[in-house]
Amino acid sequence: TALAGIIGFIYFFPVFFIILTAFRSRSDTLATPPKWFFSPTFENFYHIFYRSMSNSAEYVSTGFHAYFFNSIYISGMSVLLALIIGTIAAYGFSRHPLRGNDTYLFIILTTRMLPPIIVIVPIFLIFRITGLAGTYTGIILMYTAFNLPFSIWMMKSFFDELNTEIEDASRMDGATERSVFFGVCIPQVKAGLAATSVFALILTWNEFLFSLLLTNKLTRTMPPAMARTIGGEINVDYGLLAAMICLFIIPIFLITYILQNQLLRGVTFGTIKK
């Protein structure tokens, strides 16, 4: 237990240091060696949403609350769509395999084999031609497409682990295919749904490249907004950046904490036979 606690602290220490930096003043942030005892301040969090005008005491909104909402809305919608479509497709691949089923699954997987930057030019041109650039619909569809292969492969593995005899018994009792899917299979793979949604949400929440190139000021998410806010390489406001990171990790932390029991069962599903 002591060894696990030490290892856990080592992994958590960078996050702990960022949290401390978020409550430091600018002078305390730049102090060398770092100050471990200081007077905490909330000015970094205030400056995330409001900044002072040059040569003026007036504060104006930075619009960061809109970027925060965009991240939640775009990530939530894309993960939900990928989960719905991926779960239905995974059930089809698992229970009604086609001729060449493994080939289809391999083709789906190949979309995640290349780094996203390889396809950014054709995707950018497609968005320009179709008018999807800078729209919620465009970026949601993009993230949904990138999350689908992961969702299909993850959920198929969970459906493959289920006992099909229960489904056959339900059909003999008169249950339709839809009833079997929603009433028998889905309740048994809730842990898989939780695990898939958390991993897909993390991938979408942290995505930077497509959000930078395919969104505008109205649909911009937090990662590119953070990059635009911190300033140049020489005069980086580390306290402001640390405060942004604290706000950035809160939603993922809360969702992971709420789903931790399902998530633990989801990532270990099928490893132990009962």
Residue 146 near residue 222 (C-beta atoms within 8 A):
no
Closest CA to 263 of 253, 273, 249: 253
pLDDT level of residue 105 (50, 70, 90 thresholds): confident
pLDDT at 75: 92
Enter the tokens of residue 183: 């009433």
pLDDT at 234: 55
pLDDT at 63: 80
pLDDT digits (tens, 9 = 90+) for 202-249: 989 998 888 888 888 888 899 888 887 665 555 677 888 889 899 999
Distance, CA of 4 to CA of 19 (rounded, Å): 22
Residue 83 near residue 197 (C-beta atoms within 8 A):
yes
pLDDT at 227: 81
Of the chain, the percentage scoring pLDDT greater than 70 comes to: 90
Which phi and psi (to 5°) does residue 52 adopt? -85, 145
pLDDT level of residue 274 (50, 70, 90 thresholds): very low
pLDDT digits (tens, 9 = 90+) for 185-212: 888 888 888 888 988 999 899 988 888 8
Which phi and psi (to 5°) does residue 60 adopt? -120, 155
Reply yes or no on whether the pLDDT at 21 is more than 70: yes
Give me Rg for the CA atoms of the chain: 23
- One-letter identity of residue 150: F
Enter the tokens of residue 162: 């289920």
Mean of per-residue pLDDT scores for the chain: 85
Distance, CA of 116 to CA of 119 (rounded, Å): 6
pLDDT at 264: 66
pLDDT digits (tens, 9 = 90+) for 120-171: 889 889 998 998 888 999 999 999 998 999 899 888 888 888 888 888 888 8
